[in-house]
Chains A and B, each alone.
Chain A
Amino acid sequence: MKKYTPTEKFDTRSGFGAGLHELGKKNPNVVALCADLTPSLKMEAFQKDFPERFIQCGIAEANMISIAAGLTIGGKIPFTGTFANFSTGRVYDQIRQSVAYSHKNVKICASHAGLTLGEDGATHQILEDLGMMKMLPGMVVINTCDFNQTKAATMAIADYNGPVYLRFGRPVIPNFTPADQVFQIGKAWTVNEGKDVTILCTGHMVWESIIAGEMLAEKGIDADILNIHTIKPLDDAAVLASAKKTGCVVTAEEHNVLGGLGESVARLLSTSLPTPMEMVGVKDTFGESGTPDELMEKYGLKARHIVDAVIKVMEKKKALV
């Protein structure tokens, strides 16, 4: 198992804030919109240095999304910022009609996704957003795993012409991907090369998968770990190549197992390369209040749950032989 020894910890939302600020310097067409959550989204630096390109919308997310669509008419590249819950479910119709169906170059940037939002509870812990967004034709869906990757993704999506949903989170976690990475939309990032089992992970579950990979190595299991930061378009070639190599697959995501990464992978494998699979994710339920760690433990999203799923899927593989 490849060693990851990150010395620093950050929240992924700070990676978004840093990337957005860089974009402000680099690209005069980038504008940022926020719905009364500027500090939570880490958009203060952009607001301070580019006030003429920062649009405070107040607590009116539907208006914000449609204004963003209008701004693209005139060549602007709008980045909207609010919590993932208010970035998707609350404004689904605005995104569907004014952004996706209208092919507008809007970047919907969504923080505090999933259970790790913590104490605010299920009203704010959206676990359905990836599903909603990936069902929209033409929508690119990205869920980043650490500060560096979120910063790189934020900058990369400005160069891509089309609607993007960028999902990140609140908790402080290890920063382990390279600072100088070039983020490629739709290209899986290899965390570890192995031969016994494939682990496909996204968002905060990538670090948990690294810990799981170390635990598995102690048991003599060599995991092929791929970070699927882009849920859509899925890197079909990388998923199929790894599944072919290992013969069994575990997916790991901080999202409902209905509609998320696991289902995208299941669709691909069941139609192209039927392979035993297990899914680590939230089992079609709402979250609740608690610390991020307590919640990830209670809802089965820690490294040990990935290890359990690996053991189960490897037994399925063995039964096939």
Chain B
Amino acid sequence: MADYKELTRVATQVRRDIIRMVHGAKNGHPGGALGCTDLLVLLYFKLMKHNNKNFSMDGKDEDLFFLSNGHISAVLYSTLARAGYFDVKELATHRKLNSRLQGHPTPHEHLPGIRIASGSLGQGLSVAVGAALAKKLNNDDKFVYVLMGDGEQQEGQIWEAAMFAPHNKVSNLIGFVDYNGIQIDGHTKDVLDLMDLGKKYESFGWEVLSCDGNNFESLESTILKAQANRSNGKPKMVIMHTQMGYPIDFMMGNHKWHGNAPNDEQKDKALAQLEVTLGDY
């Protein structure tokens, strides 16, 4: 089982991949991808039981992860490649013609590890609910995880799913909100204030937890607690406090990096802050 030192090495390489992929495509969404790297690395390299060699769409007896905020695809692609789903060399094709690594994830191109298309926001929580219900019907005791953006919480469909899951005791579902407080047009509190998001989910019947999403210890203890409380019948929502662009000094907390690629100079400046650990693709 990977320790935090090893996970940090993986996360650092994934972050290098993200910078290089977005720079290579000359567009993409580096900020959220960098902020959510620790969660994906922890899940795929430590907590999830998953089959990286023989990918099956059904994922029976596997933990499943869904990315609802599909625009941070770079972190998912890099994590999947680094976890052995496909060759890391393929990361160079991200967002380019004839690639399996589309701008937003899709099973349309048959990339191992991708089970649903996402990009149009607000659908992933419902999809994850469906996958979790299928696990229950199949007597499969594994968990379903789903990551959403905080701006994404403005989509109405989220609240349809939020109402459904506690009513139907979807207790094998653990959701995450990437709470970095930033969306394309600025700070969420200025664009459309989420107010007390945790209280909203709580009032809908969820068990709400929160953690530092850029700290493995905080993330892991929170997820283990969410798993342990499965018997209370509630779905779990983790408000995951992250820094957009973490840990690149000139990107952190700046909404400009939600959907902009670094130029050559910015790319070099960012990579200088991330040592090569597993080897670049």
Contacts and interface: CB of A to CB of B under 8 A. Distances in A.
Contacts of A62: 122-123, 126, 156-157, 160
Nearest to B127: A70
A97 B119 contact: yes
A70 B126 contact: yes
Nearest to A70: B130
A103 B107 CA distance: 8
B115 A98 contact: no
Interface string A126-162: 0000000000000000000000000000000000000
A70 B133 contact: yes
B131 A71 contact: yes
Contact of A101 (B60, B117, B135): B117
Contact of B127 (A52, A69, A75, A93): A69
Contacts of A69: 116, 126-127, 130
B147 interface: no
B126 A76 contact: no
Contacts of B107: 102-103
B58 A74 contact: yes
Nearest to B70: A97
Interface in A21-65: 31, 52-53, 55, 57-58, 60, 62-63, 65
Contacts of B128: 70
A74 B137 contact: yes
A309 interface: no
B126 A66 contact: yes
B130 A68 contact: yes
Contact of A74 (B140, B156, B163): B140
A104 B64 CA distance: 17
Given A58-B164, A98-B123, A102-B117, A66 B130 contact: yes
Nearest to A68: B130
Interface in B111-154: 115-120, 122-123, 126-135, 137-138, 140
Interface in A76-131: 76, 78, 93-94, 96-98, 101-104
A98 B138 contact: no
| Residue in A53, A63, A70, A71 whose Cβ sees the most chain B Cβ within 10 Å | A70
B108 A67 contact: no
Contacts of A237: none
| Residue in A65, A73, A94 whose Cβ sees the most chain B Cβ within 10 Å | A73
Contacts of A76: 134, 137
A57 B140 CA distance: 22
A182 to B, nearest CB: 29
Contact of A67 (B59, B122, B129, B156): B129
A71 B131 CA distance: 5
Interface residues of B, number: 36
Given A66-B126, A70-B131, A60 B137 contact: no
A320 to B, nearest CB: 45
Contacts of B156: 62
B161 to A, nearest CB: 5
Given A101-B106, A101-B117, A63 B160 contact: yes
Contacts of A78: 130
Nearest to B59: A73
A68 B130 CA distance: 6
Nearest to B157: A62
B57 interface: yes
Nearest to B68: A66
A74 B138 contact: yes
A73 to B, nearest CB: 5
B168 to A, nearest CB: 8
B134 A70 contact: yes
Nearest to B60: A74
A77 to B, nearest CB: 11
B134 A73 contact: yes
Contact of B131 (A31, A57, A63, A74): A74
Nearest to B123: A66
B184 to A, nearest CB: 18
Contact of A58 (B119, B122, B163): B163
A53 B130 contact: no
A71 to B, nearest CB: 4
Contacts of B129: 63, 66-67, 70
Given A70-B127, A71-B130, A98-B127, A31 B137 contact: yes
Contacts of A101: 106, 108, 117
B225 to A, nearest CB: 25
A70 B68 CA distance: 12
18 contacts: A58-B164, A62-B122, A62-B126, A66-B123, A66-B126, A67-B161, A70-B127, A70-B132, A73-B58, A73-B115, A73-B116, A73-B130, A74-B59, A74-B134, A75-B138, A94-B123, A101-B108, A102-B106
Interface of A: 31, 52-53, 55, 57-58, 60, 62-63, 65-76, 78, 93-94, 96-98, 101-104
Given A67-B129, A78-B130, 20 more contacts: A53-B137, A57-B164, A60-B160, A60-B163, A62-B123, A62-B126, A62-B156, A63-B157, A66-B126, A68-B130, A70-B126, A73-B64, A73-B115, A74-B59, A93-B123, A94-B157, A98-B123, A101-B106, A101-B117, A102-B117
Q: 7 shortest A-B CB distances, which residue pairs?
A: A70-B130, A74-B134, A66-B126, A63-B160, A60-B160, A67-B130, A70-B127
